[in-house]
Amino acid sequence: MRSKSKTGLFALGFYVFASIFILVAFVSPYWLVTDGKLKDPKFIKIGLWEVCFNGFEEVHHWYDTVFNTCWWIFEEEYYIIHDVLLPGFFIATQFFFTITMCCIIISSFLSYQFLKREEDDENYVTLLLTFGTILVIGGFSGLISVIIFGARGDGRDWMPHWEHNDLGWAFALGVIGVFFLFPAGILFLVEARVRKYKRLHEMQSREPSSYGMRERKVAFPGHTDI
């Protein structure tokens, strides 16, 4: 690893932790879980992309179908309960958290560039600004997602036996990961500002000496420096 400032390294550390937590939350079916106090709960657990039922029946009773396994949420067999399984708030949760995941993926490439480039690279400040901005955008998108799910996920109008359903550990990891994105993004933006002003200061400090050298050559046109 090339020499980096402490601010940049702290920002990268926050980003790494955020990435791990968000990735685990993104793929885990433990956003909402039964508390285990019911003898035969019809609902077991659900994540963004997988749901587990145990004897769950189609609520409109239009079909004689009982769900007893864990499947992908968009599995063809679930089309008859999509109105129950995919309400508007849950689709919004999936959408905004997916944006956050995309920001994490894009930032993985930027983190490699951050470690590879020297601090005096002419595009280094632009890299820091881009990195920080993407992480902040991912943080806000993830914040919207977890707020929506936290407010509606364990409500009485979604999964059966709502009084026995709790927000799961994967949701908690998602919340932690989202909050880690903010210090990561802000620190990268701060580092970009510091590097920008440091570069401007260096340019300004070089200009007077160049101007003085030109004046010297005009005053003594026949003089040659040894």
Residue whose entry in the numeric block shows the structure tokens 């007893």: 68
Q: CB–CB of 54/46 below 8 Å? A: no
* 143 vs 8 pLDDT, higher one: 143
The string of pLDDT tens digits covering residues 87-136 is 999 999 999 999 999 999 999 999 998 888 776 667 888 899 999 999 99
pLDDT at site 211: 47
Q: At what angle do helices 124-152 and 88-116 cross, to 10 degrees?
A: 160
- Domain definitions of the chain by residue range: 6-209
Q: CB–CB of 96/10 below 8 Å? A: no
pLDDT at site 80: 84
**Residue 79 burial (CB count, 10 A):** 10
Confidence bin at 50 (pLDDT 50/70/90): very high
The string of pLDDT tens digits covering residues 165-211 is 999 999 999 999 999 999 999 999 999 888 877 767 666 666 555 44
Q: Any idea what the Cα angle at residue 92 is, between residues 145 and 106, rounded to 5°?
A: 60
Q: CB–CB of 149/171 below 8 Å? A: yes
* 70 strand-pairing partners: 52
Q: CB–CB of 42/181 below 8 Å? A: no
Output the pTM of the full model: 0.83
In our burial notation (b when 16+ CB lie closer than 10 A, e otherwise), range 32-57 reads: bbbeeeeeebbbbbbbbebbbbbebe
Kindly calculate the radius of gyration of the chain based on its CA atoms and give it in whole angstroms.
Answer: 27
Q: Does domain 6-209 have CATH number 3.30.450.40?
A: no
Q: Name the token pair of 127.
A: 């890299």
Q: CB–CB of 213/36 below 8 Å? A: no
Instruction: Indicate if the pLDDT at residue 20 is higher than 70.
Output: yes
Average pLDDT, the chain: 85
Q: Name the token pair of 25.
A: 């939350």
Kindly give the pairing relationship between strand 43-46 and strand 50-53.
antiparallel
Confidence bin at 225 (pLDDT 50/70/90): very low
Per DSSP, the three-state class of 117 is coil
pLDDT at site 178: 97
The percent of residues above 70 in pLDDT, for the chain, comes to: 85
Q: Which of 97, 78, 102 is nearest to 146 (CA)?
A: 97
- Strand intervals (E) in the chain: 32-34, 43-46, 50-53, 56-57, 66-67, 70-72, 165-167
Cα–Cα distance measured from residue 145 to residue 141, given in angstroms and rounded to the nearest whole number: 6
pLDDT at site 156: 83
pLDDT at site 125: 86
